[in-house]
Amino acid sequence: MIPDSCDETAVLDRAEASCRQRGASLTAIRREVLALLHRAPKGIKAYDLLEQIRHTRGNASPPTVYRALDFLIEQGLAHRIGRMNLFVACRHGKHSAPSLFLVCPKCNGVTELEDAAVVSSLYASLAATGHRLDSPEVEISAICPQCAAA
């Protein structure tokens, strides 16, 4: 589980560039939080994140983490998984369409996928009732292959 630091740096640098493009800045704190998210193999809880970030910033408090998370989500660099209060880094460079998040309730694993067929039938169904998709994130509770095997 030791990250390839070269890859990580590259990812963070790309994130920084994309923020800058939008007039936002990926500050040190935000970058650290994003790095922690990327290192986590699964969804991670805000307070676990807090604990981890205290290793480098002893004075971090809940708002420190939540503000960084809000920023990252706003910038499309991270996602919030509502049901389980989990946060994950976005593994996609860019979202052309809404994503489906398969959240495993056993292990907190999050799989992000874009499936045009599902999304288009979803749109049709929504349109039929006059609704409009609000968030590009659709969350689905599904047992992952590993947990299903166990």
Partner DNA sequence: GGAGGAAATGCGATGTTATAACATGGCCGC
Partner DNA sequence: GCGGCCATGTTATAACATCGCATTTCCTCC
Q: Least distance in Å: CB of 43 to a second copy?
A: 13
In degrees, rounded to 5, the angle at the alpha carbon of residue 44 between the alpha carbons of residues 102 and 90 is 55
Token duo for residue 116: 């045009």
Rounded to a whole number of angstroms, the minimum distance from the CB of residue 128 to DNA is: 30
Contacts (CB under 7 A) with DNA, residues 74-133: 85
Which run of H or of E encompasses 75?
none
Neighbour count for residue 59 (Cβ, 10 Å):
6
Q: Which of 64, 101, 103, 109 binds DNA (CB under 7 A)?
A: 64
Binding range to DNA, per CB under 7 A, among 3-11, 54-62, 98-106, 125-133: 54-62
8 Å CB contact between 101 and 112: yes
Q: What does the block give as tokens for 24?
A: 């936002």
The interface partner of residue 102, options being a second copy, DNA, none and the CB cut-off 5 to 8 Å by kind, is a second copy
Binding site for DNA (CB under 7 A): 24-25, 27-30, 45-47, 57, 59-64, 66-68, 70-71, 85
